[in-house]
Amino acid sequence: MAFDEALAERVGTVLGDAPDVVAKRMFGGIAFMVAGNMACGVMGEDLLVRVGKADQAACLARPSVRPMELSGRTMGGFVVVDAGALDEDDELASWVQRGCAFAASLPAK
């Protein structure tokens, strides 16, 4: 599966040059890791965000957000934001920062 490289570049711009952020290919897309923990990624044309199980329901209540499914299984703590909801840079930045905050709250790997 190919992923939207332009969206991945926009995510990279939001992340800047933070030393603890690494891009890694996974799930047929690209994931952005913070201190070894996945924060967000690009799958196809959409943004994958790790929000944690406690915040997942609130995120899913927002428009253009759905659960992440992998091989027919829903992945707890992750949501997918449709590409159409990410046209504005501040909306993308909000989601990326949410994922980074969650990843940073976890023990470093």
pLDDT value of residue 1: 58
Residue type, 21: V
Write down the pTM of the prediction.
Answer: 0.94
Q: What is the mean pLDDT of residues 40-66?
A: 97
**Residues of 60-89 as b/e, b for ≥16 C-beta within 10 angstroms?**
eeeeebeebeeeeeebebbbbbebebbeee
Across all residues in the chain, what is the average pLDDT? 94
CB–CB of 34/104 below 8 Å? Answer: yes
Confidence check: pLDDT of 71 > 90: no
CATH 3.90.1150.30 describes domain 5-104: yes
Residues in the chain: 109
Confidence check: pLDDT of 39 > 70: yes
